[in-house]
Amino acid sequence: MTATAVLQLQEVSKKMGKRTIVDRLNLSVQRGEIFGLLGPNGAGKTTVIRMITGLLSLSQGEITICGHSVSRQFEQAIRHVGAIVENPEMYKFLSGYDNLRHYARMMRGISERRIEDTVRLVGLEERIFDKVKTYSLGMRQRLGVAQAVLHRPDLLILDEPTNGLDPAGIRELRDYLRKMADDEGVAVIVSSHLLAEMELMCDRVAIIDKGKLIGERTVKSGSGEPVTEQRFVRFEVDRPAAARQLFGQPGNASAASAAVDADSHEVEFTGTKEQIAEANARLIADGIKVYGIRPVNKTLEQTFLEMTGGGTK
């Protein structure tokens, strides 16, 4: 375990009856990182979040938060966590403010000032003294975020936080999460099945399906990326079929490259910086004309569909 791992899951499984809902999951989330949990409906995202927050017991494995085991040292572990699990259900007969006061009382050292600051942060100051039953879905979502960040947690877990937010709200949330991660070193976990959202919001995304971890992927590759980083490029050539053969790909456009226009003269290639240079040299050595090499940001959507086998189930 590295010193900065805020959350660590080791071989975590959850069985309900005979079904295995989460299967030997290993994850770790670092300080200052925004981590995405991506998967289709029923993949087990909410189940994982319930286990991290101690609502569900583990059938197997161990979860630690800031070094404390959730199952054995629940109070020390959960102290560091702020979360929304599934929908942010609040006490409808209380005002938004009283809801926050309710949660503030359960944790040490939260002043009235802090509550007011949090309210301003999520932009609810106009309606905070109204009863929650008069709130819209988006306003409830904002209140949910407020109760999660009230005590300045080290680990912030938001289950589908953009659900119900308007575009401006999503943007604000994104900026706010970024700021929390960068300035205060908060580790953030966001779950979603909205791929585009995750690309914009997260540093790293884990894709899970049917309770299994299928892959992990860094989203924003910054300038200082390591040379071993896999890149995805398209070569524009005069004889694409010959080029594909050279790369060991099937002669016709494969399922993976189906997105590429059949008439275009582009061939896909994935490899490190060095491998791309080598591939280029081989094309030229074989007398294939290279008109251009275009880096393509392989979208999460593609990765996602490839990994989960084309959509839900």
Partner 1 sequence: MISLLLNEHMKLFRRARIWVLYAIIFSIVCFASTAYFNSSRDLSGDDWRATVNKQIDQDHRTIANSKTTDQAKENAQRRLALNEYRLEHNIPSQSMVPSPWSTIKKSSSLTMIATLLAIIIAADIVAGEFVWGTIKLLLIRPHSRAKILLSKYLTVLTTALSMLLLQLLSSIVVNMLLYRFQYITLPDLAMDTNGHIREVNMLGATLIDYGYQSIEFLLVVSLAFMLSSVFRSSTLAVGLAMFVTLAGQIITALLTRYPWGKYWLFANTDLTIYRAGAAPEGMTMGFSLTVIVVYYALFLAVSWAAFVRRDVAI
Catalog residues that contact Mg ion under the rule CB under 5 A: 46
At 138, give phi and psi (nearest 5°).
-65, -40
Does position 21 interact with ligand ATP (CB under 6 A)? The reply is yes
Q: Which stretch binds ligand ATP (CB under 6 A): 42-50, 169-177, 275-283, 303-311?
A: 42-50
- The one-character DSSP state at 235 is E
Helix (H, G, I), strand (E, B) or coil at 242: helix
CB contact at 8 A, 211 and 21: yes
Q: Which of 6, 25, 45, 265 binds ligand ATP (CB under 6 A)?
A: 45
At 79, give phi and psi (nearest 5°).
-55, -30
Question: From partner 1, ligand ATP, Mg ion, none, which one binds at residue 87 (CB under 5 to 8 Å depending on kind)?
Answer: partner 1
At 282, give phi and psi (nearest 5°).
-70, -40
Does position 72 interact with partner 1 (CB under 8 A)? The reply is no
Does position 189 interact with ligand ATP (CB under 6 A)? The reply is no
Question: From ligand ATP, Mg ion, partner 1, none, which one binds at residue 44 (CB under 5 to 8 Å depending on kind)?
Answer: ligand ATP
Q: Which of 81, 122, 139, 206 binds partner 1 (CB under 8 A)?
A: 81
Cα–Cα distance between 272 and 312 in angstroms, integer? 31
**In this complex, which beta carbon is closest to partner 1, that of residue 73 or of residue 302?**
73
Question: From partner 1, ligand ATP, Mg ion, none, which one binds at residue 175 (CB under 5 to 8 Å depending on kind)?
Answer: none
Beta strands 81-84; 155-159: pairing state:
parallel
Q: How many residues touch partner 1 (CB under 8 A)?
A: 32
Does position 16 interact with ligand ATP (CB under 6 A)? The reply is yes
Q: How many CB atoms lie within 10 A of CB 307?
A: 17
Question: From Mg ion, partner 1, ligand ATP, none, which one binds at residue 257 (CB under 5 to 8 Å depending on kind)?
Answer: none
Which of 66, 70, 75, 69 has the alpha carbon at shortest distance from 54?
70
Beta strands in the chain (DSSP E): 5-16, 19-30, 34-38, 60-65, 68-69, 81-84, 155-159, 187-192, 204-209, 212-218, 231-237, 266-271, 290-295
Footprint on residues 136-165 left by partner 1 (CB under 8 A): 147
Binding site for partner 1 (CB under 8 A): 16, 50, 53-57, 74-76, 78-79, 81, 83-94, 98, 102-103, 105-107, 147
Binding site for ligand ATP (CB under 6 A): 16, 21, 39, 41-47, 193
